[in-house]
Structure 1
Amino acid sequence: MSHSLSEKITHRTAQVGVIGLGYVGLPLALACARAGFPTVGLEVNEQRAQDVNAAHSYIEDVSDVDLAPHVQAGRLRATTDYDVVRELDIIFICVPTPYTVQRAPDLVYIIKAAEGIATRLREGQLIVLQSTTYPGTTVEVVRPILEQASGLQAGHDFYLAFSPERIDPGNKQWSAYNTPKVVGGLTPESTALAAAFLRQTGAPVHEVSSPAAAELTKLLENTFRAVNIALVNEIALLAERMDIDFWEVLEAAKTKPFGFMPFSPGAGVGGHCIPIDPYYLLWKAREYDFYTRFIELAAETNETMPYHVVDLVVKGLSRQGKPLTGARVLVLGVAFKADIGDARNSPAERVIELLQGRGADVRYHDPYVPTYRVGGDVFQREPLTLHSVALTDAELAAADAVAIVTGHHDVDYARVLAHTSLVVDSCNVTHGLAGGATVIRLGAPLPQ
């Protein structure tokens, strides 16, 4: 059985399916098609499926030009019909893994995908979960669903593995085509087949002993970032109190050629990984009577940063004799990082909600995010959709304060300083620029 699938992989005739055509799934589907495999994306959002079939991309990291030759050649198509699973040899699950409002893992999309596969599963297929999740999900959640509905046995009748996604939106150097893959299968055969396929897409592959080891690998990577960001956020707050410019300290520390890795403080953490993945790990750890205090403290530190940004706005307005209530505040940048249009879990959401909750008139400008939704939570019960305003001189002049949350590089910050009275800069993009505005930088002494 494995020999047959192995041959299909070698000759690039294996029929590949990708469930979920979002930030992870669409680049993966394109990578499979580029490698010569007939690929179908299974997407519950009908508009997205239609867009792919029209060679239209809704993902920044994939262009229409990228899609067109593969769609036109018939190597890549999309559907909303799970019955296509019966035709496939290899199936990747690339669905979202959010958390609940209590920050517990929410596996509803993984479960639905597994259920959709299970009733159509046949012998010899390889199922690879890519969605970021806690150790044990592949074996404890996905495997039982597949086995019970199909009557087949994982590792004997079909193959099962986990290979974490490592997508970094907006990264031009590392993509789905060259970022090394980690893969761990339920059995050695499952690992070997999944690794053989992933190597065909062009990326190096590192094999581990189990799906759980691969699952924990991804959580380690993102928890590492979350903890280190929390560290510099905390030291930046200390530096403010000590009247030391943390950004100067960071530049000095970066000169050490070994033993130091630079991270930058800011208004918080965002995206689908860094704010969420540590909670998946600490939730699972409790099953083992293990309390990840260090990880939880890091999350707590990062989650306080939007509050600190608002406090800096209040402090700046107070110095000018203005209350926050009734003040117009212009937020610059709501994407979760610079120069992309992905605003998932951006700290800008909490900043805006806190400002509005204290009576401010809040507007925002982001050249990459035309509309932005806030609210629908305990901080602001009613959801509200905001629209990016043009960054005109008049808009800047009308603002009592400008809060820079995300430092997009194509914003003219010198012009911002020239046309407004108060700027709170959470990412140090105004350092060294001249202008008439009073500038309060996160992590730096207050201006005299």
Structure 2
Amino acid sequence: MKTSLYSTSPISGKKYTLPTENDKSTIDNFIAKNKGKKVVVVQGLGFVGAVMTLICSNALTEEYAVIGIDLANENSYWKIASINEGVFPVIASDPKINQFHEKTKLKDNLLATYDNYAYSIADIVIVDINLDVAKNADFSKKLIDYDVDLTPFKKGLKAIGNNCKENVLVLVETTVPPGTCAKVAYPIIKDCLEKRGLSTDRFRLGHSYERVMPGPDYIDSIQNFYRVFSGINEESADETEKFLRTIISTKKYPLTRLGNTNATEMAKVLENSYRAMNIAFIVEWSRFAELAGVNLYEVVNAIRMRPTHSNLMLPGIGVGGYCLTKDPLLASWSKQNLFMDANPLMQSEKSVQINDQMPLFAFNYLKETFNNDLSGKKALLLGVSYRSDVADTRYTPVEPFYDYLKSQGAEIALHDPYVDVWEEKSLTVSSDLENLLKEDFDIVAFCTNHSEYIDNKTLIQSISEKSNLFIFDTIGVLNQNEINLLKQNHLVKVVGRGDV
């Protein structure tokens, strides 16, 4: 590995030289300081794994020595270095993140590393690495085909199997295609242990998918929320349950045990597919409401009074994040490739395609206002993250919306109170809304429902004092009083509101 290569933190901008030596002595010293504690290794330091290290470091009924492990490459090493410097690599609005992190630093029971030696001392390994779906789509996001590449996931499992103890508990939290633990993970670990001359009867393999919600309830979405779990066999399920009871408030949020890992894997992709289809369903009704002069928000809220329909979704610019954009495809891919059924889950696949095209619908709505000519128009996009009050831009629907605007020659400024650098676009994002609003724009578009934009009298007043703007609310941030005020000097449109 060349020492001239760096990993740069998107949070601080600090550069870290990639390591060239192993980290064994650092790990040994850490374990010596935490003598007598069981060792939990969390594989993957992304939005789930990084926070999982804090949960385990602050376990409810056990004292663990926790090691987070990730790759020593340009994209990931900064997370390792940041954690070891006492800087948590995830920004969120949840105050518990900082509280848990401060407690962890006082305990000195968290280390981050890139060295696979960590697996050799682990009692429990939690797998939190990404498993992506590669979509082949045209510029309009019409899905042509897709594939699931298990190669990185398999490499992660081999790293465990080639180094772990024979009596380790491997707990997969990664969202995977149903059948993965039984048909992929178990054979890999078993084969690795056999080649090392170790017993294959003592290791335990469990699956318990995360329901992490980045934002104000980040920690609680793990520690204080319901969990579903299973094991590759009864012994594995028992060990998984035993561990989960040490980190989750199970008295208030009882665990649910399913019959096998196929079931828990299916549960995760089914619950996300259901939500993705619910969102896709409302898309065509948004178009209908706009055509019919109807406020779809008040229609949906009226329907939600009926308990059986309380989760009917509201209009928006689109679906983002790591789960809903891919999980229906993981399920369909599994049916075809792991269970060898040629018939896909057609409705689930269709929901992804509809949701991926939602930014195009919003863009076309905007473009029609300018007679299909956006060249040279100056647009301010308020919010680039996919969800309110988080710095998560993974698969944000704002990205294709931005691309469509850019392709038409528009000049674009970006604001987000949580995002300084939009990694996927290599763009700087401003957090200084006051100064941005001093500039002249033709378009102001609300793209993320951050708390900073909701009931913000200063923001609305600043916008209202300008003249001849097109205010485009893609997610229903504006209330009726704000819309009435803005309409005095501006043209206002809201996705799903044909009455405006």
Give the TM-score, by structure 2 length: 0.80
Does the C-alpha gap of structure 1 residues 389 and 87 become closer, same or farther in structure 2, counting only changes over 3 Å? closer
Q: Equivalent residue for 1:92? A: 126
Indicate the residue corresponding to 2:277 in structure 1. 227
Moved more, 124-133 or 96-105: 96-105
1:51 and 2:104 matched: no
1:404 corresponds, among 440, 446, 451, to 446
Letter in 1 for 2:247: T
Distance 1:324 1:259, change over 3 A: closer
Contact 2:225 2:248 in 1 (8 A): no
Query: Contact conserved, 2:70 with 2:77, CA < 8 A, in 1?
Result: yes
Alignment of 1:170-319 (within 5 A): 170-172=215-217, 174-204=220-250, 205-286=255-336, 287-318=340-371
Q: CA separation of 1:292/1:394 partners in 2, compared to 1, >3 Å: closer, same or farther?
A: closer
Contact 1:363 1:386 in 2 (8 A): no
Deviates more, 1:365-374 or 1:160-169: 365-374
- Output the CA distance in 2 between the equivalents of 1:108 and 1:270: 24
Query: How far apart are the structure 2 equivalents of 1:177 and 1:164?
Result: 13
Q: Call closer, same or farther: CA 1:46–1:72 in 2, change over 3 Å.
A: farther
SS at match of 2:330: helix
CA contact (8 A) 1:99 1:276 kept: yes
2:97 corresponds, among 18, 43, 63, to 63
Structure 1 letter corresponding to 2:249 = A
Distance 1:96 1:118 in 2: 18
Counterpart pick for 1:41 among 68, 80, 88: 68
Q: Distance in 1 between matches of 2:55 and 2:404?
A: 41
Q: How many Å separate the matches in 1 of 2:418 and 2:54? A: 23
Q: 1:195-225 deviations in whole A, cap 9, x for unaligned?
A: 1110111333211111111111110111111
What TM-score does the superposition give when structure 1 sets the normalisation length?
0.89
Distance in 1 (alpha carbons) for counterparts of 2:152 and 2:112: 18
Unaligned runs of 5+ in 1: 1-11, 375-382
Decide whether aligned partners of structure 1 residues 101 and 259 sit closer, same or farther in structure 2, where only a CA change above 3 A counts: closer
How many residues are aligned here?
425
Once the two structures are TM-superposed, the CA of residue 390 in structure 1 deviates from its matched residue by 3.5
Give 1:394 shift: 6.4
Instruction: Tell me the distance in 1 between the aligned counterparts of 2:50 and 2:436.
Output: 41
| Counterpart check, 1:139 vs 2:139 | no
Stretch of structure 1 that moved more, 102-111 or 231-240:
102-111
1:101 positional shift: 3.5
What amino acid is the match of 1:400? D
Measured in 2, the distance between the counterparts of 1:231 and 1:184 equals 32
SS in 2 for 1:38: strand
Structure 1 residue 373: deviation in Å? 4.5
Q: Deviations over 1:160-212 (max 9, x none)?
A: 11111110111428322111221111110000100111011133321111111
- Give the CA deviation at 1:106: 2.8
Q: Indicate how the Cα distance of structure 1 residues 53 and 394 shifts in structure 2: closer, same or farther if over 3 A, else same.
A: closer
Aligned pairs for 1:116-131 within 5 A: 116-131=159-174
2:125 maps to amino acid: I
Q: CA deviation at 1:64?
A: 4.0
Displacement after TM superposition at 1:149 (Å): 2.1
Q: Deviations over 1:105-135 (max 9, x none)?
A: 2333322211111111222111111111110
Residue in 2 that maps onto 1:9:
none
Q: Which amino acid aligns with 1:63?
A: I
Measured after TM superposition, the shift of residue 385 of structure 1 is 2.4
**Is the Cα–Cα contact under 8 Å of residues 247 and 443 in structure 1 kept in the other structure?**
yes
SS at match of 1:17: strand
Return the alpha-carbon distance in structure 2 between the equivalents of residues 394 and 87 of structure 1.
52
Cα offsets for 1:45-75 (capped at 9, x unmatched) = 3321222223321222563442233233232
CA distance in 2, matches of 1:305, 1:142: 36
The alignment yields a C-alpha RMSD, in angstroms, of 2.2
Within the candidate set 148, 156, 161, 2:206 is matched to: 161
**Pairwise mapping of residues 425-444 of structure 1 onto structure 2 (< 5 A)?**
425-432=473-480, 433=482, 434-435=485-486, 436-444=489-497
Does 2:406 align with 1:356? yes
Corresponding position: 1:17 with 2:36: no
Taking a change above 3 Å as real, the CA distance of residues 396 and 233 of structure 1, as seen in their structure-2 partners, is farther
- The percentage of aligned residue pairs carrying the same residue is 26
- Per the TM alignment, residue 28 of structure 1 is displaced from its structure 2 partner at its CA by 1.7
Mapped partners of 1:386, 1:148: distance in 2:
47
Which whole-Å CA distance do the structure 2 matches of 1:156 and 1:110 have between them? 23
Q: Is the 8 A contact 1:326 1:360 kept in 2?
A: yes
Given that 1:16 and 1:38 are in contact with CA atoms closer than 8 Å, whether structure 2 keeps it comes out as yes
* Residue in structure 2 matched with residue 335 of structure 1 by the alignment: 385
CA contact (8 A) 1:310 1:351 kept: yes
- Aligned AA (1:84): A
Aligned-pair distance for 1:292? 1.4
- Once residues 423 and 233 of structure 2 are traced to their aligned partners in structure 1, the CA distance between those partners, rounded to angstroms, is 44
Counterpart among 422, 428, 435 of residue 470 in structure 2: 422
Q: Which runs of 5+ in 2 are unaligned?
A: 1-35, 137-145
SS in 1 for 2:498: coil
> Structure 1: which 4+ aligned runs deviate by more than 3 Å?
61-65, 152-155, 257-260, 392-397
* In structure 2, distance between residues paired with 1:180 and 1:316: 46
Change beyond 3 A, Cα 1:212–1:279 = same
